[in-house]
Structure 1
Amino acid sequence: MDLDAVRTFVTAAETGRLQDAATALSVTQQAVSKRVAALERELAVRLFTRTARGVRLTIDGQAFLPHARALLDAAERALASVRPGSRALRVDVIGRRLGPAALLRDFHRAHPEVELDVVTLFDAEEALAAVRHGTIDASFRAVTVPARQLPDGITAARVHDEPVQLLTGPRHALATAREVTPARLAGYRIWMPGLVAGTEWAAYYDELATAFGLTIEATGPDFGIDPLLDTIADSPHLATLVGEQTRMVWPADQDLRRIALRDPTPVYPHSLLWRSDNPHPALRALRGHLDAARRGPVGAGSWTPHWAW
């Protein structure tokens, strides 16, 4: 299987636009289209449907995506095993649009000499196993267990508190508010189809809902960010919650509103996990950068779940 075609497919799936994939890969959009078409011919299925705003994964594309990522991960490990000199620092950021990716981009801007290999693993157990086995150097996660329950040799440090915001369409009752309290959201429908039971983000939002009497619905299939934004933009009743640093771009006619939550501000506690015996010099540089750059609301004006440390 052509790994360039697989890499192009994964990049297009993550960006949602062939032009954005071409930019990320430093090739032409025509080259991206040809690679995707060749992969579709090889697999004998359609991987994307084309829309006015880009591309969306078909059901076959959704099924193939995790295996495509695994192929790329295997290829990278094979290269790293024989690469002379120092290798790239391999870091898991959960999702490339989420807050940890922004933290890693800030580190890269401050240390452009450090080569990074960014991966996205699904849940905390998978990420913890990858750190323990040395297939990644570090992972950004919300740690839901006490430090004493982490495996031997694994260290975690809380590195960033990311405020959570309300996202609504223009016809929602709270759309004109500059800020609201979490308690005021009681009685409104908050739709978050990406919540998966057993994950750290589900644990966070479950406790947030309990603390403030919120109704958070995770019903329906999760088709990704764009379909979620389409639904929120058109609904006078539904809203969702997003991290302040979650990168989202929507058409101007959707007129979506990010609304700050105050008194208190719910913050998502990002931690960095790594093996205590990992000697990679770039890992030390990353930890030092995060210590120096730690920001976000802390103290009496913020809310975190009871397990945050």
Structure 2
Amino acid sequence: MDLDAVRTFVAAADAGQFQEAAAALSITQQAVSKRIAALEQDLDVRLFTRTARGAQLTIDGQAFLPHARELLRVEARADASVRPGRRALRIDVLSRRIAPAVLLQDFHRAHPQIELDVVTLDADVHGATAAVEAGTIDATFHAVTVPAGQLPGALRAARVIDEHHEILVGPRHALANARVVTLAQLAEHRIWMPGMAVGSEWAAYYDELAAAFGLTIDVVGPVFGNEALLAEIADSAELATLAGERTRYLWPDSYDLRRIPVRDPAPVYPMSLIWRDDNRHPGLRKLRDYLDSRRADAPEGEVWLPTWGRTGRA
């Protein structure tokens, strides 16, 4: 069905005059007549009775009018669903616990007028960038281990998060009362991170960190979820785990878990926002500006970055 003809029918029904409908639509009266005639032919009914006083709806025209209005409302909603700035900005965060999700929530508080659709694709950097390239998401947060100029096609990346680390230990752990912990101290303790995905960019990061400082990072064991991990650590005098300083965890007060900054050097996990250069959603530009303004300063003292993160901001 020709939606321009439907729009013309509604305008004529509201105006009661083809001439007034033509003026409202900025077309000629002859064009109005042709569109109405074509619609009547398509529906095989008469929609108007022409009289000296104008155009009056027939009984079929009266029956069709509410459906015609709904067709135009559906058209408007369909158009708005894909127009840049009218649909929600769709961003992949990998996990709702980690720094990108925290920063997106802060962005939403600062810009509540920008509708967000926050998703977790459960994909590595290759799968997530493929989704950006295909246009199924507007952007994703991941570690980018190649220079930004080597990204395929229209993809662009900017390093927007340098996530510093903390260790998480229970009250009986030897480091429980420390104000800060060094990587040299951590080398004497078992760091438990069960279920780390082999071949992922974060596994590569922790492998390099462990090799550089002689850390023992144990990834063996079934994964029962973060709640079970926290319960095990709270009850252990030996287990510790590493977490980003903005990673969100909740646990009962009785666990008495301690989050302790790691320093000298402070390990940093660099994350980039990846998007398409031809994405015209106005919310994406605002998000990029916001993330750049929130880029955390490095902690005092020496900082350690993985090999692929030492070339400065992408």
TM-score by length of 1: 0.71
**How far apart are the structure 1 equivalents of 2:210 and 2:156?**
29
Mapping 1:285-296, distance limit 5 Å? 285-296=286-297
Q: Secondary structure of 1:155's partner?
A: strand
1:108 aligns with 2:108: yes
User: What is the aligned partner in structure 2 of residue 203 from structure 1?
Assistant: 204
Report the counterpart of residue 194 of structure 1 in structure 2.
Answer: 195
What's the CA shift string for 1:154-183, capped at 9, x where partnerless?
Answer: 111000111110110111111111101112
Return the alpha-carbon distance in structure 1 between the equivalents of residues 103 and 251 of structure 2.
Answer: 22
Kindly provide the amino acid, as one letter, of the partner of residue 116 in structure 1. L
Distance 1:296 1:225 in 2: 28
1:83 partner amino acid: S
Task: Supply the distance in 2 between the matched residues of 1:295 and 1:80 (Cα, whole angstroms).
Answer: 40
1:56-71 pair list within 5 angstroms? none
Q: Distance in 2 between matches of 1:176 and 1:113?
A: 44
Q: What is the CA distance between 1:81 and its match in structure 2?
A: 8.0
CA contact (8 A) 1:140 1:273 kept: yes
Partner of 1:62: none
Quote the residue 1:248 is aligned against: 249
Aligned with 1:128: secondary structure? helix
**2:265–2:303: 8 Å Cα contact kept in structure 1?**
yes
Tell me if the contact between 2:168 and 2:257 (Cα under 8 Å) persists in the aligned partners.
yes
The alpha-carbon distance between structure 1 residues 81 and 171, as it changes in their structure 2 partners (threshold 3 A), is: farther
Measured in 2, the distance between the counterparts of 1:215 and 1:161 equals: 23
Alpha-carbon displacement from aligned partner over 1:260-287 (angstroms, at most 9, x marks no partner): 1111111111210001111111001101
Q: CA deviation at 1:300?
A: 6.2
**Percent of aligned pairs with the same amino acid:** 61
CA distance in 2, matches of 1:244, 1:117: 24
Amino acid of the residue matched to residue 227 of structure 2?
Answer: D
| Aligned 1:71-220 pairs, distance under 5 A | 83=81, 85=83, 86-122=86-122, 123-220=124-221
Q: What is the one-letter code of the residue matched to 1:304?
A: L
Shift of residue 298, structure 1, vs aligned partner: 6.7
Q: Aligned partners of 1:299 and 1:170: how far apart in 2? A: 26
The residue type equivalent to 2:114 in the other structure is V
How far residue 149 of structure 1 moved from its aligned partner, in angstroms, is: 3.2
> 1:164·1:242 contact (CA, 8 Å) conserved in 2?
yes
Quote the Cα distance in structure 2 between the aligned partners of 1:208 and 1:89. Answer: 34
Q: Is the contact made by 1:162 and 1:296 (CA closer than 8 Å) also made in structure 2?
A: no
Are 1:267 and 1:302, in contact at CA under 8 Å, matched by a contact in 2? yes
Q: Secondary structure at the match of 2:272?
A: strand
Task: Supply the distance in 2 between the matched residues of 1:178 and 1:132 (Cα, whole angstroms).
Answer: 44
- 1:93 and 1:118 in contact (8 A); partners too: yes
- More displaced stretch, 217-226 vs 127-136: 217-226
In the TM superposition, residue 82 of structure 1 has moved relative to its aligned partner by 7.3
Shift of 1:299: 8.9
How far apart are 1:194 and its partner, in Å? 3.4
* Residues 195, 220 of structure 2: 8 Å contact kept: no
**RMSD, aligned CA:** 1.8
**4+ long deviations beyond 6 Å:** 79-82
Distance 1:231 1:166 in 2: 14
1:80 shift after superposition? 7.4
- In the alignment of these two chains, the number of paired residues is 231
Assess, with a 3 A threshold, how the Cα gap between structure 1 residues 303 and 153 changes in structure 2: closer, same or farther: same
- Following the alignment from structure 2 to structure 1, what is the Cα–Cα distance between the partners of residues 210 and 113? 43
- In the aligned structure 1, how far is the partner of 2:300 from the partner of 2:159? 14
With normalisation by structure 2, the TM-score equals 0.70
| Distance of 1:288 and 1:294 partners within structure 2 | 10
Q: Offset at 1:301?
A: 2.3
Q: CA deviation at 1:296?
A: 3.5
Please give the per-residue CA displacement for 1:20-65, whole angstroms capped at 9, x wherever unaligned.
xxxxxxxxxxxxxxxxxxxxxxxxxxxxxxxxxxxxxxxxxxxxxx
CA distance change for structure 1 residues 114 and 186 in 2, over 3 Å: closer, same or farther? same
Per-residue CA deviations over 1:48-94 (Å, capped at 9, x if unaligned) read: xxxxxxxxxxxxxxxxxxxxxxxxxxxxxxx9787375110000011
User: Is residue 169–residue 233 contact of structure 2 (8 Å, CA) maintained in 1?
Assistant: yes
CA distance in 1, matches of 2:211, 2:300: 20
- How far, CA to CA, are the matches of 1:92 and 1:307 in structure 2? 22
